[in-house]
């Protein structure tokens, strides 16, 4: 990705060769991760904010990561991007659950802290907990006003 998260080479459709190259590349990354005893995550994006981004959906990232199916590669499930690209957040969390390495949070619209947009964060947090997710949840958002208040809102949304 280049300036502003826009793809340098845009592609509206992923071709078969692109899928094969992505799988080969991610398998090489997994080999390196295994040698270093680390885990990499692949973030889902959305095509509204990142037009022309290949594999720019939750569905595509899940398909890639699950087809590789190695513990060194997980999904950085960005719920802001999922909301814009696909919606149906809780069902996507369920589908991605076995492959989630991290969940990222920002409200929509505006990409600000929980409680500033349309997303029901306490419901999403409860659903993640109920389905057994215990991994990291990160706030990747802009503070609507006060950064400290944004952190408080994040903690409040994810404290059960």
Dump pLDDT digits (tens) for 31-45.
Answer: 999 999 999 999 999
Asked, for residue 5, whether it belongs to a domain, the answer is no
Among 14, 43, 94, 102, the active-site one is 43
36 is catalytic: no
β-strand 40-43 against 137-139: which pairing, if any?
A: unpaired
Distance in angstroms (rounded) separating the CA atoms of residues 103 and 141: 13
Asked, for residue 25, whether it belongs to a domain, the answer is yes
Phi, psi of 102 (to 5 degrees): -160, 150
Distance in angstroms (rounded) separating the CA atoms of residues 47 and 7: 10
Neighbours of 10 (CB within 10 A): 11
Percent of residues, the chain, with pLDDT higher than 90: 91
Asked, for residue 107, whether it belongs to a domain, the answer is yes
14 is catalytic: no
Q: What is the pLDDT of residue 146?
A: 96
Which among 37, 58, 28 has a CA at the least distance from the CA of 46?
A: 58
Dig out the tokens for 21 from the structure.
């190259």
Q: What is the pLDDT of residue 6?
A: 81
pLDDT (average), residues 67-95: 98
Q: What is the pLDDT of residue 79?
A: 98
Q: How many residues does the structure list for the chain?
A: 160
Asked, for residue 61, whether it belongs to a domain, the answer is yes
Asked, for residue 3, whether it belongs to a domain, the answer is no
Instruction: Evaluate if residue 4 carries a pLDDT over 90.
Output: no
Dig out the tokens for 136 from the structure.
């990291």
Asked, for residue 86, whether it belongs to a domain, the answer is yes
Instruction: Evaluate if residue 124 carries a pLDDT over 90.
Output: yes
Q: What is the pLDDT of residue 152?
A: 96
pLDDT (average), residues 110-135: 97
Asked, for residue 4, whether it belongs to a domain, the answer is no
pLDDT (average), residues 108-135: 97
CATH classification at residue 124? 3.20.20.150
Give the domain extent around 92: 11-158
Asked, for residue 109, whether it belongs to a domain, the answer is yes
Among 14, 86, 94, 140, the active-site one is 140
Dig out the tokens for 67 from the structure.
């087809």
**How do residues 42-53 score in pLDDT, each as one tens digit?**
999 999 999 999
Domain total for the chain?
A: 1
């Amino acid at each position: 990705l280049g300036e502003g998260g826009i793809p340098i080479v845009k592609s509206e459709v992923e071709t078969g060769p692109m899928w094969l190259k992505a799988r080969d590349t991610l398998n090489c990354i997994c080999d390196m991760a295994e040698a270093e005893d680390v885990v990499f995550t692949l973030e889902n994006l959305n095509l509204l904010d990142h037009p022309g981004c290949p594999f720019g959906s939750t569905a595509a990232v899940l398909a890639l990561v699950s087809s590789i199916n190695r513990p060194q590669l997980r999904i950085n499930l960005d719920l802001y991007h999922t909301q814009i690209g696909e919606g149906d957040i809780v069902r996507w969390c369920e589908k991605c659950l076995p492959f989630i390495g991290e969940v990222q949070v920002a409200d929509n619209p505006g990409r600000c802290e929980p409680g500033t947009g349309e997303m029901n964060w306490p419901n999403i947090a409860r659903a993640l907990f109920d389905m057994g997710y215990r991994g990291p949840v990160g706030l990747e958002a802009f503070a609507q006003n006060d950064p400290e208040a944004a952190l408080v809102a994040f903690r409040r949304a994810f404290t059960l």
